[in-house]
Each structure stands twice: as structure tokens, then as C-alpha cells.
Amino acid sequence: MSKRIALAADHAGFDEKEKIKATLTEMGVDFVDLGTTSTDSVDYPDFALKVGRAVAEGEVDQGLLVCGSGTGMAIAANKVHGVRAAVAWSPEIARLAREHNDANVLSLPARFLNDEQAKDIVKAWFDADFEGGRHERRVEKITDLEKNDAA
């Protein structure tokens, strides 16, 4: 696998992020860790922004975020033009987010997953590709919404 990703977590997702690194290495996914570096309290938007910008600017192929619910990180990352972040709590949701929505950032809810579930979700995410076809039109509409909103 020749993907390069940006990885980040807040304090609630730090421990799971550290465990996910082993899964990524095992899968041959090259990653850059953008923080946080401990379980000390931090503000999740700061880390979602770092990953979102890395994805949007083409520094990496995809992003992976981890916070308590997954939701805060996804909301913050989705504020970056060009990011389509999805919260996934099962392998099927992760797979569908890639295949149907061309999501380029995965956000995991650390407080609601055990280590094995997180590993399975990450594997499903990286095993899936955007299907295009009928989904392409819908993803293009998302891009159009971003352009119109910026005008």
C-alpha cells in the first residue's frame, strides 16, 4: 500500500491513536503523526485543522482522526475546503464512506470502540476505494456547495 496519511488525536483519542500506529505499520501505510503527544487536555479543533489542511493541500492522501466521540474532529475537519470527513463506528460504515462518499478523512470515536473494533475499521477504510459512477455526481455536488458557499 503506497498511501501516506496524516494522523492526529485529542487527549481522549491519544491512547487509541498510539495503538492504531501499529496497525498502519502492519498494513504498510506511511503516516505522519500530527499530535497530540499525551493524554493532557487539548482542543480537538487544532488537530483536526492540521490533518484537514494536510489532506486539502495534498501533503497526504488521507487523514485519520481520533477523539472521544469522533464527531468533534469530523465537524472541525469538514470546515477545511476539500475535506470530506466521516465518523465510522463499524467497518461497514468506514467502507461505505470511502466507496460512496469518497471520504478522505476517517474520524474514530475512541470512547465507543475497543482496540479490535478500531483495527477492523481502519483496515476496512484502507481496503476500500471510491466507486465513482452514480456516486461521482453526488460528491461533485458537495464540491459545488463548498464553492458556492465561499462566493
**What structural domains does the chain harbor?**
4-150 (3.40.1400.10)
Q: What is the pLDDT of residues 61-89, one digit of tens each?
A: 999 999 999 999 999 999 999 999 999 99
Q: Which residues are known catalytic residues?
A: 67, 100
Secondary structure tally for the chain: helices H, strands E: 6, 5
- Return the bridge partners of 106, or none: 64, 86
The mean pLDDT of the chain is 94
Q: What is the C-alpha separation between 48 and 45, in angstroms, rounded?
A: 5
Contact 6, 61 (CB under 8 A): no
Contact 12, 67 (CB under 8 A): yes
Handedness of CA 28, 115, 66, 145 (dihedral sign): positive
Q: Would the pTM count as exceeding 0.85?
A: yes
Q: What is the pLDDT of residues 18-61, one digit of tens each?
A: 999 999 999 999 999 999 999 999 999 999 999 999 999 999 99
